[in-house]
Amino acid sequence: MATGVIDDTNRRPVGVMLFNHSEVDFIVKPGDRVALMIVQVIATPVVTELEDLHATVRGEGGFMSVYK
């Protein structure tokens, strides 16, 4: 099966492509479950650009600081 992304502007029906890489025929009958769709919300956070950052002490609150 092929994967893809459906964006929020799509208004057309969604289809499924199946590939049989075997030498044996595979029959798909009406009602067979052959695909899975995962619906996921993609969040776009609000970004605030700062003119300047306040000073910090090196190692304070940085990466892995909770393990020190």
- The three-state (H, E, C) secondary structure of 31-57, written as one string: CCCCCCCCCCCCCCCCCCCCCCCCCCC
Domain-located, residue 64: no
Among candidates 23, 18, 20, which has minimal Cα distance to 33? Answer: 18
Residue 24 lies in a domain: yes
Report whether pLDDT(18) > 80. yes
Number of compact structural domains in the chain: 1
Residue with tokens 């499924």: 16
pLDDT at 25 over 90: yes
pLDDT at 50: 87
Q: How far apart are the first and last CA of the chain?
A: 47
pTM of the model: 0.43
Residue of higher predicted confidence among 62 and 46: 46
Q: What is the pLDDT of residue 53?
A: 80
Query: What is the pLDDT at residue 24?
Result: 97
Instruction: Specify if 29 maps to a domain.
Output: yes
The boundaries of the domain holding residue 25 are 1-49
Within-domain flag for 56: no
Q: How much is the mean pLDDT over the chain?
A: 83
